[in-house]
Amino acid sequence: MSPVVFLTLMLGQDLPAEAADAAKMERISKALAATPTTVVASPPPGDGPVFRVTIYGPKPDRPVWEVWSAVPSYIRPPMKLYAHEFLERVTPEAFRAQTLYPIGVPVVPLAGLQGKQIRTGLRKAAEARAREEVQRALEKSK
């Protein structure tokens, strides 16, 4: 066996368990013995009373703005019942379908996604401009 292969095999082996544990324990004890870099002092006691509130309640599974129903959205009115009844009374017969049961692409999530993409592009462009400015400044200083 060549010496290079033998040396590679020797260096590739793990330390014995006792040596590794001792090294870990030594490192942990050094970390515990070191003084902390920041010390947070407790605030002085106040003169006034202290009020604490604990709120118990179920956490919603879905966001509040999501409405899940077995009834399709083209049948279920997208507004409160009183608004639906009002529009039903004041809208002419020819325009009731479009007004009371609008069908279309949900624009709000698409607009949010588009805004996110625009923000990402603007941030990347600003980072690129900042890098170029730093490079120019470094070249001028040389």
pLDDT tens for residues 120-130?
A: 999 999 999 99
Residues 80-113: pLDDT tens digits? 878 888 888 888 888 877 777 767 777 888 888 8
Percent of the chain whose predicted confidence (pLDDT) is above 70: 69
Contact call for residues 101 and 77 (beta carbons, < 8 A) = yes
Distances (CA, A) of 50 to 42, 46, 76: 15, 8, 49
The gap between the terminal CA atoms of the chain, to the nearest Å, is 54
The Cα angle at residue 23 between residues 20 and 25, in degrees rounded to 5:
110
Burial label for 98, CB within 10 Å (0-12, 13-18, 19+), is: exposed
Chain centroid to CA 25: 36
